Amino acid sequence: MQDDVSVGTAGKLPSTPIDRPEAEPKLPPRLPSGSVPVGFDVLAKLSRAITFFAEHLAACIALAIACILLAGVTSRYVFNQPLHWSDEVASFLFVWLTMLGSIIALARNGHLRLTAMERRAGPRTKTVLKLASGLLIFVMLGWMLMASGEHLEDAYYSINPMLHISDAWRSGAMNVGLALLAVVSFAQVVIGARGNAAELLIALASVTAAAAALYGLSLATGGRYDLVLFFLVAGSACVLIGMPIAFAFGLAALAFLNWTTSIPMSIVVGRFEAGMSHLILLSVPMFIVLGLMFEMTGMARSMIAFLASLVGHLRGGLSFVMLGAMYLVSGISGAKAADMAAIAPAMVPEMRRRGVPDSELVSLLAGASAMSETIPPSLVLITVGVVTGVSIGSLFAAGLLPALALALLMCVVARYNAGRDNLSMPVRATWATTSQAFFAAIPGLILPIVIRTAVVEGVATATEVATIGVVYILVAALVVYRRFDLARFYEVLKESATLSGAIMIILGAANAVSWALTQTGFSQDLASRITSMPGGAAGFMAMSILLFVVFGSLLEGIPALVIFGPLLFPIARSMGIHEVQYAMVAVLAMGVGLYMPPFGVGYYTACAISRIDPSAGMLRIWPYLGVLILGVTIVAAVPWISTGFLSR
């Protein structure tokens, strides 16, 4: 899904994990004065102005949320005077942050999407696909915008019990955000159509014909195959032509509910808002800020240098360093893209100098990311806790050992591959060098301990703990490293808003799809079919692994868990499977699918961040995926790996 992505290098901020198959600018291009009609120039300027406004306002809101959460922790834990309003205010601001981040992501082409068809198409076909995708995005946004008025009216009469203000202040973010998204989307279509009138007509005719055919088929089948038509056929078609996953999900849900039911469309807007505004999801932008600051301040590089001084002289030693660094960093940032962006710039050049082939580099980076999905405070674990009701504290406590089991299996493959490659063997680092690297790495090594201790000891919730990490990094940067670039920190805030918007809108769309599927009775039918399969709990676990691998690859990780988690977790409980163990199995299996080519978006993210062609690792990654599946099977067969450290 993500091929040629611009990412940070040493001394530069890692960019948002976006899908940029061509060297596209972040904002609509400036058109030469006098060379185009005035309308094009006005639209381009308007789109840039909206994006500029959204970037700076989102950065300020992200900083405000961090300060509010930190104030809540300090007041409650230090002064024993909880701020009862802090969570509500932060929650209100979070919806605005999400919508503004979505605007930035759309302007930067930053929403996750599949580009397999686009990459293989000729120039004219590629233009048609881009225009068709843009038209569908605009239709989806316009459809939701028309329904958002009724949603805002309903929210107007709802009074928040804590702040004593109307919930319209929160829901208004949907209306404003949808309107601005629609303007940016329209500008992209119009600018993209400049000089491509024939391609625009083809795209418009194709979209119209497809919509008419879909509507006609839904009438002809009498509702028997509506789910297949709208979600499997139409939704998949939208994704295949390059439409961002979130908008494809949203359009499928809107079309399904509007053409086959009498349910008001305002409910879809409400489902979007509910899916991306849960209080626990406030941790997403905060952990993204934490991960980017971890790389920005040099803590990640210092930690890697220390690990390399310990085992870098061994055959395959740097592979072990990458696995160990990913294990440690995953417990800090919580976001896979931020994890890889923190590790790759420090590891990839050195491993190349020692003769490690690109195929091994990208396979190891992708496999390490899949291996570490359960390491707290993983955003995936937080999402699972939100949508299934499983204790997030229990998920955090259980996540380390399953990831360690998979890491050890990956070490075996890495050591075998290192024996096949002709690698240069550096001399062992002296004790003086190792000691110096250790002292430089101490702040980075302590950070995971600080975060996990804060959660375990009840100092902060999963939502608040990232703010403690941000303050810790800020103090370490000023006191220990004695450098902190305010301008780059401001860029970190903007990047966190962009990535948060891209993630949250997927959650909102997935929540709308999940709700639509539930209304049709799909969940009951699925539960009935799975429970009737032979094999009991073992058969159900095997089928679950298969489902999450497949859907983790096709749907991207978090949407797969949001849609299928609420359906499958109750079945697991009824079969006597511990919900925490089932969560570990589901998350790890989803992670394998997420990094499984040719569809797994995580694999292409790893390729983009390491600047390696996706075809390089297509074959070499499979041994790593094989041992990861073996590890998931072991975790499924041995409950103690997941539940052994839970409090009794």
pLDDT at position 8 over 50: no
pLDDT at position 188 over 60: yes
More confident residue, 77 or 24: 77
Burial code (b: 16+ CB inside 10 Å, e: under 16) for 596-614 equals: bbebbbbbbbbbbbbbbeb
> Residue 178: pLDDT band by 50, 70, 90 thresholds?
very high
DSSP string, 336-350: HHHHHHHHHHHHHHH
Q: What is the pLDDT of residue 527?
A: 65
512 CB-near residues (< 8 Å, 6+ apart): 249, 250, 253, 268, 271, 272, 275
pLDDT at position 611 over 80: no
In this prediction, residues 37-53 reach a mean pLDDT of 81
> Residue 117: pLDDT band by 50, 70, 90 thresholds?
confident
**H runs (alpha helix) in 457-535:** 465-479, 486-519, 522-531
Percent of the chain with pLDDT over 90: 14
Q: Which amino acid is it at 546?
A: L
> Residue 402: pLDDT band by 50, 70, 90 thresholds?
very high
Q: What is the dihedral of CA 419, 425, 430, 434, to 10 degrees?
A: -60
Instruction: Evaluate the CA torsion angle 367, 379, 110, 549 in order and state its sign.
Output: positive
Cβ–Cβ < 8 Å for 247, 509:
yes
DSSP state of 36: S
In this prediction, residues 504-517 reach a mean pLDDT of 77
- Smallest Cα–Cα separation from 371: which of 408, 334, 344, 397? 408
- Smallest Cα–Cα separation from 71: which of 55, 59, 82? 82
Phi and psi torsions of 159, nearest 5°: -105, 130
- Residue 314: CA count within 13 A, CB half-sphere: 15
Phi and psi torsions of 166, nearest 5°: -70, 145
> Residue 420: pLDDT band by 50, 70, 90 thresholds?
low
In this prediction, residues 314-325 reach a mean pLDDT of 79
DSSP-based three-state secondary structure for 624: helix
3-state secondary structure string, 131-148? HHHHHHHHHHHHHHHHHH
Instruction: Report the mean per-residue pLDDT for the chain.
Output: 79
- Smallest Cα–Cα separation from 317: which of 425, 431, 410? 425
More confident residue, 16 or 64: 64
3-state secondary structure string, 154-203? HHHCCECCCCCCECHHHHHHHHHHHHHHHHHHHHHHHHHHCCCHHHHHHH
In this prediction, residues 633-647 reach a mean pLDDT of 87
> Residue 335: pLDDT band by 50, 70, 90 thresholds?
low
- Smallest Cα–Cα separation from 629: which of 599, 603, 605, 593? 593
Q: Which amino acid is it at 646?
A: L
In this prediction, residues 542-562 reach a mean pLDDT of 77
> Residue 497: pLDDT band by 50, 70, 90 thresholds?
confident
Q: What is the pLDDT of residue 185?
A: 92
CB neighbourhood size of 81 (10 A): 9
pLDDT at position 316 over 50: yes
The CA–CA distances, whole Å, from 83 to 170, 236, 634 equal: 20, 46, 45
- Smallest Cα–Cα separation from 8: which of 335, 418, 340? 340
DSSP-based three-state secondary structure for 576: coil
Cβ–Cβ < 8 Å for 339, 403:
no
In this prediction, residues 29-33 reach a mean pLDDT of 44
H/E stretch holding 261 reads none
In this prediction, residues 458-477 reach a mean pLDDT of 78
More confident residue, 178 or 21: 178
Cβ–Cβ < 8 Å for 470, 289:
yes
Q: What is the pLDDT of residue 555?
A: 61
More confident residue, 33 or 66: 66
pTM score, whole prediction: 0.74
Question: What is the distance between the alpha carbons of residues 249 and 468, in angstroms, rounded to a whole number?
Answer: 35
DSSP-based three-state secondary structure for 612: coil
